[in-house]
A = this chain, B = another copy of it.
Amino acid sequence: MTTKYISASIPTLKRLPRYLQVLKALNQEENMYISATKIADELKVDSIQVRKDLQSTGIIGKPKLGFELKELIQSIESFLNWDNLTDAFLIGVGSLGQALLGYENFKKSGLNIIAGFDIDEKLVGKTIRGINIYNINKVEDLIKRMKINVAVIALPANNVNMIVEKIVEAGITAIWNFAPVHINTNEDVIIENVNLTQSLAVLTHKINERKNKDGGTK
């Protein structure tokens, strides 16, 4: 049904999880079909785009019926590689790090956090949501011994690049970065940044824009 591997554009990759949200909200009955148009209507986006994105996962729809629902969900998940769990270390187990440990959706999305690391003596030795927290000074050794390639960074801004240098040296080749800093490392390392202040910049500016339009009445 699905092809083993196809490359995809970043915009397509970002849209696919949204389609999954819509699909998973539906009753997954046997032999239920859904059209790209239906998904597009739900999300208020262009249906040609949806059809193209879905087809890029390798699935082939039936004329007039659309896509078989369960098969479509599986096709997207397989395409995103979410049916293969990748082990990862969490670096920084403060409030943000602990929230990430509690976010069950990650496992459904292919990421399996298997240990946490922090400098805070109050956290080291604890088990949070089933995950053991180790002293940060053990991280390089454990990356090597357990052959871990993926790190989730939830540190405050200080010292991030110093720690990144160490973990990349030890074997990390992909970083999901929540720290509010720009990571300087070699080009082979995959970096995906989640910068919440960037998102907030868009929100606060839009609010301000509207205030000005309305002459400050809102």
> For residues 91 through 108 of chain A, which have their beta carbon under 8 Å from a beta carbon of chain B?
94-96, 98-103, 105-106, 108
Pair B14/A103 contact, Cβ less than 8 Å: no
Q: CB of A131 within 8 A of chain B?
A: no
Pair A18/B98 contact, Cβ less than 8 Å: no
Pair A80/B190 contact, Cβ less than 8 Å: no
- Known contacts A196-B194, A209-B7, A201 near B96 by CB under 8 Å: no
| Residues on B with beta carbons closer than 8 Å to the beta carbon of A86 | 204, 207
- Known contacts A17-B195, A106-B200, A201-B13, A5 near B80 by CB under 8 Å: no
Pair B206/A190 contact, Cβ less than 8 Å: yes
Residue of B nearest to A181 (CB): B21
As a 0/1 sequence over residues 110 to 150 of chain A, the CB contacts with chain B under 8 angstroms (1 = contact) are 11000000000000000000000000000000000000011
Which of B13, B43, B176, B202 contacts A205, CB < 8 Å? B13
Q: CB of A203 within 8 A of chain B?
A: yes
Distance in angstroms between the alpha carbons of A143 and B101 in the assembled complex: 31
Distance in angstroms between the alpha carbons of A14 and B100 in the assembled complex: 23
- Chain A interface residues (CB < 8 Å from chain B): 5, 7-8, 10, 13-14, 16-18, 21-22, 25, 42-43, 80-82, 84, 86, 94-96, 98-103, 105-106, 108-111, 149-150, 157, 173-174, 176, 180-182, 190, 192, 194-210, 212, 218
26 contacts between A and B (CB under 8 A): A8-B205, A10-B202, A13-B201, A14-B198, A14-B202, A17-B195, A17-B198, A21-B182, A22-B182, A25-B181, A81-B205, A81-B208, A95-B98, A95-B99, A95-B102, A96-B99, A96-B102, A96-B103, A105-B180, A109-B200, A111-B203, A150-B207, A190-B206, A190-B210, A192-B200, A192-B202
Q: Which 9 pairs of residues, A with B, have the shortest CB-CB distance?
A: A99-B99, A95-B102, A192-B203, A81-B208, A110-B204, A14-B198, A95-B99, A17-B197, A109-B200
